[in-house]
Structure 1
Amino acid sequence: MNFKPILLTAGVLFSATFYSQKMNYPKALKGNQTDTYFGTAVADPFRDLENDSEATKKWVDEEVNFTQSYLSKIPFRDQIKNQLKEVWNYEKISAPFKEGDYTYYSKNDGLQAQSVFYRTNNKTKATEVFLDPNKFSEKGTTSLAQLSFNKKGTLAGYSISEGGSDWNKIIIIDAITKKQIDETLVDVKFSGISWLGDEGFYYSSYDKPKEGTVLSGMTDKHKVFYHKLGTKQSEDQLIFGGEKTPRRYLGAYVTEDQRYLVISAANATNGNELYIKDLKKGGDFIQINKGFDINANIVDTDGDDIFISTDKDAPNMRLVKTTIKNPSPETWKNVIPETENVLGVNSAGGYFFATYMIDAIDQVKQYDKTGKLIREIALPGKGTVGGFGGKKTEKELYFSFGNYITPGTIYKFNADSGKSEVYQKPKVKFNPEDYVSEQVFYTSKDGTKVPMMINYKKGTKLNGKNPTILYAYGGFNVSLQPGFSVSNAIWMENGGVYAVPNIRGGGEYGKKWHDAGTKLQKKNVFDDFIAAGEYLQSKGYTSKEYMAISGGSNGGLLVGATMTIRPDLARVAFPAVGVLDMLRYNKFTAGAGWSYDYGTAEDSKEMFEYLKSYSPLHNVKKVCYPSTMVTTSDHDDRVVPAHSFKFGAELQEKQSCDNPVLLRIEKNAGHGAGRSTEQIIGESADKLSFALYEMGIKTLK
Structure 2
Amino acid sequence: MTATPLPTYPPAHRLDLVEDLHGHAVADPYRWLEDAADARTEAWSSAQDELYAAHRATYRADGALGAEALTGRLGELLGAGFVGTPAWRGERRFFSRRAGDQEHAVVVVAEGDTERVLIDPVALDPAGTTTLDAWQPSKEGHLLAYQVSSGGTEESVLHVLDVATGELVDGPIDRARYSPVAWLPGGEAFYYVRRLPPEQLPDDEHQYHRRVWLHRVGTPAETDVEVFGDGLDHTSYYGVSVSRDGRWLIVSASAGTAPRTDVWIADLSTGGPFVEVAVGIDAETGAWIGRDGRLWVHTNLDAPRGRLAVADPTAPGAEHWTTVLAEDPEAVLEDVAFTDGGADDTTPTLLLASWRRHTVSEVTTHDPASGAVLGAVALPGLGSISGLVTRPDGGADVWFSYTDHTSVPSVHRFDAASGAVTLWASPPGALADLPSVVARQVEVTSPDGTTVRAFVVARADLLDASGAPLAPAPTILYGYGGFQISLDPGYSATTLAWVEAGGVYVVANLRGGGEEGEDWHRDGMRANKQNVFDDFHAVGDWLVAHGWTTPAQLACWGGSNGGLLVGAALTQRPDLFAAVVCSAPLLDMVRYQRFGLGVTWTEEYGDADDPTELGWLLGYSPYHRVVDGTAYPSTLFTVFEGDTRVDPLHARKLAAAVQAARSGAAPILVRRETGVGHGGRSLSRSIALTVEQLQFVAAATGLGA
Q: Does 1:142 align with 2:127?
A: no
Report the more deviating stretch, 50-59 or 538-547. Answer: 50-59
CA contact (8 A) 2:83 2:409 kept: no
Deviation at 1:406, TM superposition (A): 2.7
Deviation at 1:34, TM superposition (A): 4.3
CA contact (8 A) 1:210 1:217 kept: no
The equivalent position to 1:314 in structure 2, one of 303, 320, 343, is 303
Deviation at 1:65, TM superposition (A): 3.2
CA contact (8 A) 1:435 1:457 kept: yes
Q: Does 1:429 align with 2:435?
A: no
For 1:292 and 1:318, the matched residues in 2 are separated by 15
Deviation at 1:304, TM superposition (A): 5.0
For 1:449 and 1:70, the matched residues in 2 are separated by 40
| Cα displacement string for residues 252-283 of structure 1 (whole angstroms, at most 9, x for unaligned residues) | 22233322111111114210110111111211
SS in 1 for 2:171: coil
The equivalent position to 1:339 in structure 2, one of 304, 321, 328, is 328
Check 1:136–1:24 CA distance in 2 against 1; reply closer, same or farther (3 A cut). farther
Check 1:243–1:331 CA distance in 2 against 1; reply closer, same or farther (3 A cut). closer
Q: Within 5 Å, which residues of 2 pair with 1:172-211? A: 172-197=160-185, 198-207=187-196
For 2:21 and 2:29, the matched residues in 1 are separated by 16
Q: Does 1:512 align with 2:514?
A: no
The equivalent position to 2:211 in structure 1, one of 204, 219, 223, is 223
SS in 2 for 1:581: coil
SS in 1 for 2:389: coil
Q: Does 1:377 align with 2:384?
A: no
CA contact (8 A) 1:346 1:389 kept: no
Aligned to 1:262: 250
Give the letter for the 1:111 counterpart.
Answer: D
Q: Within 5 Å, which residues of 2 pair with 1:73-472? A: 73-75=58-60, 76-122=66-112, 125-197=113-185, 198-207=187-196, 219-243=207-231, 246=234, 248-269=236-257, 270-302=259-291, 305-340=294-329, 341-350=331-340, 351-370=350-369, 371-392=371-392, 393-426=394-427, 427-431=430-434, 434-461=436-463, 462=469, 464-472=471-479
| Cα displacement string for residues 527-567 of structure 1 (whole angstroms, at most 9, x for unaligned residues) | 11001001001111111111110111111111001110111
Query: RCO (CA 8 Å, sep 6+): is it higher in 1 or 2?
Result: 1
The equivalent position to 2:488 in structure 1, one of 481, 502, 521, is 481
For 1:208 and 1:555, the matched residues in 2 are separated by 33
Check 1:225–1:449 CA distance in 2 against 1; reply closer, same or farther (3 A cut). same
Deviation at 1:116, TM superposition (A): 2.1
The equivalent position to 1:628 in structure 2, one of 626, 635, 643, is 635
Q: Does 1:51 align with 2:35?
A: yes
Deviation at 1:373, TM superposition (A): 3.3
Which runs of 5 or more residues in structure 2 are unaligned?
61-65, 341-349, 464-468
| Cα displacement string for residues 279-309 of structure 1 (whole angstroms, at most 9, x for unaligned residues) | 1121111121221511100144346520100
Report the more deviating stretch, 188-197 or 623-632. Answer: 188-197
Give the letter for the 1:167 counterpart.
Answer: E
Aligned to 2:694: 688
Give the letter for the 2:641 counterpart.
Answer: D
Q: Does 1:503 align with 2:493?
A: no
Aligned to 1:11: none
For 1:218 and 1:114, the matched residues in 2 are separated by 29
The two structures, once aligned, show a CA RMSD in angstroms of 2.4
Tell me the matched-pair count: 676
TM-score (norm 1): 0.91
Deviation at 1:569, TM superposition (A): 0.6
CA contact (8 A) 1:160 1:169 kept: yes
CA contact (8 A) 1:100 1:154 kept: no
The equivalent position to 2:9 in structure 1, one of 14, 18, 25, is 25
Check 1:617–1:155 CA distance in 2 against 1; reply closer, same or farther (3 A cut). same
Check 1:43–1:91 CA distance in 2 against 1; reply closer, same or farther (3 A cut). closer
| Cα displacement string for residues 152-204 of structure 1 (whole angstroms, at most 9, x for unaligned residues) | 11111100021222211001111111101123101221211221132222221
Check 1:299–1:65 CA distance in 2 against 1; reply closer, same or farther (3 A cut). farther
CA contact (8 A) 2:36 2:649 kept: no
CA contact (8 A) 1:266 1:292 kept: no
SS in 2 for 1:181: strand
TM-score (norm 2): 0.91
CA contact (8 A) 1:92 1:109 kept: yes
Aligned to 2:621: 615
For 2:43 and 2:126, the matched residues in 1 are separated by 25
| Cα displacement string for residues 320-356 of structure 1 (whole angstroms, at most 9, x for unaligned residues) | 1111222111111111111112112232534432112
SS in 2 for 1:369: coil
